Amino acid sequence: MELLFVIVISACIGAIVRYSTPKRRTYGAFLLPAVAAAVSAVVWVALLWAGLTFDGTWIWVATIGAATIASLVVAMVLPRKRIESDAAKLAQLAPR
């Protein structure tokens, strides 16, 4: 049950990151919440396997922190790469 809670919290944080960063029109509305949810699920299960308990503080902090960092990284890197890729494709397709 706690896995569901941490995934929902992380997806909400991903949505907050999406709407608080510039250039959000270069990717879809659900990309950052999906990235945050996926990262939080993987980190949560990995930390459970590592021996942390679900009612401990550090598993929550690490999981939500990793999801936040992952969504911030995607929000900062993806628009730059997308703009560069679009400019290169436009230069390739433009008549000379």
Q: pLDDT tens per residue, the chain (96 residues)?
A: 899 999 999 999 999 999 999 888 888 899 999 999 999 999 999 999 999 999 999 999 999 999 999 999 999 999 999 999 999 999 999 877
Domain residue extents for the chain: 2-93
pLDDT for the residue numbered 95? 77
48: Cβ contacts below 8 Å, ≥ 6 apart: 54, 59
Cβ–Cβ under 8 Å, residues 68 and 17:
yes
Answering whether pTM is above 0.85, one says: yes
pLDDT for the residue numbered 50? 96
Tell whether the torsion through CA atoms of 38, 36, 9 and 44 is positive or negative: positive
